[in-house]
């Protein structure tokens, strides 16, 4: 297992998973946000539902917006959420 990372879930992602945060230690071969989402999704259940539509998923590493190809090495916190809309 890799280094522990705090994962924060927001909006419909949080609702599908049933929690707002968790600490995970992904395997060493999980190197990008996309890899992390694939790994989490493989847990099935609410995770698969939350991450079913990858095009509608956004991420932030240590409070900075990033793309799916962003490296997660050294991240302390990763937030996963649907697109933010104005109102």
Minimal CA–CA distance to 24: which of 16, 10, 35? 35
Question: Please, what sign has the CA dihedral across residues 74, 58, 67, 34?
Answer: positive
Query: Domain ranges in the chain?
Result: 5-81
Q: What is the average per-residue pLDDT within 17-43?
A: 96
Minimal CA–CA distance to 13: which of 43, 49, 38? 49
Q: What Å distances lie between residue 75 and 12, 44, 85, CA to CA?
A: 23, 24, 26
Give 35-86 pLDDT, tens digit per residue.
Answer: 999 999 999 999 999 998 888 899 999 999 999 999 999 999 999 998 866 5
Superfamily of 5-81 according to CATH: Beta-grasp domain (3.10.20.30)
What confidence score (pLDDT) does residue 85 get? 61
């Amino acid at each position: 297992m890799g280094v522990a990372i705090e994962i924060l879930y927001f909006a419909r992602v949080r609702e599908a998973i049933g929690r707002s945060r968790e600490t995970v230690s992904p395997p060493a071969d999980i190197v990008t946000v996309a890899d992390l989402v694939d790994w989490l999704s493989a847990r099935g259940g609410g995770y698969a539902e939350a991450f079913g539509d990858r095009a509608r998923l956004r991420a932030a590493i240590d409070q900075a917006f990033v793309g799916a190809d962003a490296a997660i090495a050294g991240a302390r916190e990763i937030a996963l959420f649907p697109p933010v809309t104005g109102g």
